[in-house]
Structure 1
Amino acid sequence: MTIPVDRLSDPAVRVFVTALNANDEAALFEALTPDVTMSDDGSDRDVREWLDREVFASRGHMDVESEADGGRALVARYRNDTWGEMRTKWAFTVDGGKISRFETGQA
């Protein structure tokens, strides 16, 4: 069972997931604060490099299974051309309607 993206509770997270699934780089970076940070499996990463590799170059896609924390914590099936599909968790920090940090890793 997945949650349709347009039904995700947090507007900033909804914009992030919509842009990621559309492989829309401009829209995704517009959803982020200029000083956004992120981590993958507990290690901080360079956001642009990570998004280029794990999303844009490899056609990343999220199917959200559940949300918590007002829509700022997700469990999703994430897939891309590099790794295939895996169950992942995502946590977002929102500042001024944009994402200032996101953390992801295997669920």
Structure 2
Amino acid sequence: MTIAVAKLTDPAVRAFVTAVNANDRAALFAVLAPDATMSDDGSDRNVADWTEREIFASRGHMDVQSEGDHGRALVANYSNETWGEMRTAWRFTVDDGRITRFETGQA
């Protein structure tokens, strides 16, 4: 069962998912801290390069299936035009309302 984005618990994570699904670079980078870091399947990646390739250029979309850790851990069906759809896990570190790190990988 998909969780409506508006119902996600953590405001920063909710803004992140909203930005991804709207393909909105400005909104995504507004919720990320300036020095935010990320990893994909356990390997650290450059945030700007990864988001361009995996979200914006390929029209990424998250359908959230579950959340935990007060809204900072998600399982989502993630799809984009490059890879199709896959079940993914997302973990977010939030400080002062901004995401300082996110980690994603296959669930």
Which TM class, normalised by the smaller chain length? Answer: over 0.9
1:56 aligns with 2:63: no
Q: State the partner residue of 2:29.
A: 29
| Percentage identity across paired residues of the two chains | 74
Give the paired residue count.
Answer: 107
Aligned residues: CA RMSD: 0.2
TM-score by length of 2: 1.00
Q: Within 2, Cα distance between the matches of 1:95 and 1:71? A: 14
Q: State the partner residue of 2:99.
A: 99
Q: State the partner residue of 1:90.
A: 90
Q: Which runs of 5+ in 1 are unaligned?
A: none
Equivalent position amino acid for 2:61 in 1: H
Q: Within 2, Cα distance between the matches of 1:92 and 1:36? A: 11
Q: Which runs of 5+ in 2 are unaligned?
A: none
TM-score by length of 1: 1.00
Q: State the partner residue of 1:76.
A: 76
Deviations 1:22-78 (A, max 9, x none): 000000000100000000000000000000000000000000000000000000000
Partner SS state of residue 58, structure 1: coil
Q: Within 2, Cα distance between the matches of 1:67 and 1:7? A: 10
